[in-house]
Amino acid sequence: MSYENWSARGRTPGESEAEVRDALDASRVRTRQDAAIALVDAAESGLDRETIDALGECALDDDDPEVRQFAIEALGVAGAAPAVVRQALDDPEPWVRAEAVVALSRVGGDANQLEGALDDDSGWVRRNAVIAMGKRGDADQSLLVDCIKTDPHPAVREYAAQFLGGVAEDVSEAERILAAMLAREPNAFARAKAAESLGELATDRAEQALEAHGVTDQSEDVARAAKQALAGARGTDPEELDVEIGPPSAPGSGPDTPAEQSVDGYDPAGSFGSARSGSGSPAPGGAPGFEPRRDLNTDPEDRT
């Protein structure tokens, strides 16, 4: 079997699994990176025991954080080496830890292990923990509301909002939190997810929030998401809704108004009342999956 097409990057260091595995020990960092990426691409078809062991060693011992990250990614895709994946949650590099959260969700990690990642210093690690728990059904309303109200990283709030509508038991609280997000959240991706969840709730109050703050949002993407959500809540086609999307005409109105940053305990621009920390970087493209693979040509300063 030829492995020359494993990697879309076209730099696969070998034409067999054994050759690619041997490249994990190369002295040149880029060669080791290419080998680990190639094994990510191949992992869905299964990997030899020797390859899994070699990836485990790289994941824990390689000097290059990108080799460690890709090795963990390959193990996660292969559903292998859970003990190694758990150890990688303590890696000093946040991108490796973020990948380890994804891998842990794939190799059978339990909810407590994933929830522990919500205390990580990196917002991207916490983001992946929310996504993993949400996809597995391990994130309840209390956890998601806490993330929305206290986490300083917008991507964490974004995905907590996405999953809240589907697990809400206290619908009144969910309505209030999501409506406050739609009106006050500074990040457009997070507001769009709040709109989608309000549409999922499909209550009178949810529809009112979508009309009052969603379809009038300053972001066209948020306004369109709100219109779709409102149509879904009413069981109709968005084109049949008699609503116009776009920001309100009153000067100074909209979610970015400084005087409107706090409502019902939701204060994304102020003190979060939490030990959690992290950059306020926007989610990359609002992608609905896990942390995207890093471009090896990207400057390290752009990755944190």
Look at the block and give the residue holding tokens 């996504």: 131
Alpha-carbon distance 25 to 55, whole Å? 10
The span from the CA of 88 to the CA of 94, in Å, is: 10
Q: Which SS3 state, helix, strand or coil, does residue 39 take?
A: helix
Topology adopted by domain 15-137: Leucine-rich Repeat Variant (1.25.10)
Which of these, 170, 178, 163, lies nearest to 208 by C-alpha position? Answer: 178
15-137 and 139-243, same CATH topology: yes
- According to CATH, the superfamily of the domain at 139-243 is Leucine-rich Repeat Variant (1.25.10.10)
Tens-digit pLDDT profile for residues 11-45: 677 779 999 999 999 999 999 999 999 999 999 99
Where along the chain do its domains lie? 15-137, 139-243
Measuring CA to CA, which residue among 255, 231, 256 is closest to residue 243?
231
10-residue mean pLDDT profile of the chain (304 residues): values are 47 84 96 95 94 98 97 97 97 97 93 94 97 96 97 98 96 97 97 97 96 94 95 87 64 38 44 34 37 39 34
Q: What is the pTM of this model?
A: 0.79
Contact 54, 81 (CB under 8 A): no
CA 204 to chain centre: 30
Tens-place pLDDT, residues 234-272: 998 887 776 777 776 443 344 443 333 333 445 554 323
- 285 CB-contact burial (10 Å; exposed 0-12 / middle 13-18 / buried 19+): exposed
Contact of 103 with 73, CB cutoff 8 Å: yes
